[in-house]
Amino acid sequence: MSRKLLMLSLWIALVSACSSAPAVEDEGPTEEPEVVEEEAKPAEDREASYDSLRERLEEIVDGTHRSDANRARDVYRNPVDTLRFFKVEPTDRVVELSPGRGWYSEILGPYLYGEGTLVAAVPPIDPEDEESYLTQIVTEYMGFVEANRDTLGMVEVGTFAPPEVAEIGEPGSADAVVTFRNLHGMYNRGTIEATLSAVYEVLRPGGTFGVVQHRAPEGSDPAESASMGYLPQEVVIELAEAAGFVLDGASEINANPMDTADHEHGVWSLPPTLRGGEETAERYQEIGESDRMTLRFVKPE
């Protein structure tokens, strides 16, 4: 076990002990039509299954375990449609990269509870550096997980800071990896290639990599836009394909055409951060949260 993982494990144990508070083209007919019937039936079954999964997700999203503040962001984050687009199923092993304070974990945990597994990929921290923003975020997340075991289940936590460490499962063990509004930070730190490589390795062949990311206008300089929280969609696709992924679908589920992506404080000018303060809050509230790409990649079979 690496020294970083040991430190994180000890710290998680400490948090656990102290967190008791709740908180094709048509090829024409074949010679064996019965084969066509056999192929069509699973497709119908899959559609019925997806309808059932929608109901399950909707019940979770409407659950009383979610705060009013988190519910208020559903209109921008569209969790039911997003997770269905990513084809996440309740029996999957799903890795969530950099889960933040747990907004999506609050939905994924109950959805996977009892049948699948949620793996939270968090960065290594120094528990003694309590003032660090990173320490505060990870500490808050761990407290959230520990206080909500009855709802979330046993969320696995792995240290993730490629290329140094990526302890999120054995190669080929994950059915899906998802990341929400994180890629610009990885681009800024120069670790996005290493991150994509680690994601590719942990996914099984045929597994899904789901991406939601603040979107810069086409043709933007990614070095400039990333510093403001945005990335051009074509750059994200190019980087993912260079890592071996195949683009399987792109959706406008999380699009917001009112976001021009040229704000003084970048994406953080928009809600919920509203970094510009009261003077610009009303204007940015009218725009809403950022324009976002929603991409589904697969690891080839």
Residue-wise pLDDT tens digits, 75-89: 999 999 999 999 999
Every domain of the chain and the residues it spans = 3-15+77-298
Fold of 3-15+77-298: Rossmann fold (3.40.50)
What's the pLDDT score for residue 41? 40
Q: Which pLDDT score, from 0 to 100, does residue 49 have? A: 62
CA distance 301 to 295: 19
pTM of the model: 0.84
pLDDT (mean) for 280-293: 97
pLDDT digits (tens, 9 = 90+) for 196-219: 999 999 999 999 999 999 999 999
Q: What is the pLDDT of the chain when averaged over all its residues?
A: 87
pLDDT of residue 292: 98
Decide: helix, strand or coil at residue 181. Answer: coil
The alpha-helical segments, DSSP class H, found in 26-132 are 33-61, 68-71, 74-77, 79-85, 105-112
Q: What percent of the chain has pLDDT over 70?
A: 83
Phi, psi of 36 (to 5 degrees): -60, -40
Straight-line distance from the first to the last Cα atom of the chain, in angstroms, rounded to the nearest whole number: 31
pLDDT at 51: 72
Please give the residue that has the higher pLDDT: either 247 or 16: 247
Taking Cα atoms as reference points, which of 176, 167, 235 lies closest to residue 198?
A: 167
31-40, 125-134, 289-298: least confidently modelled range: 31-40
Confidence category of residue 130, pLDDT binned at 50, 70, 90: confident
Distance, CA of 232 to CA of 217 (rounded, Å): 6
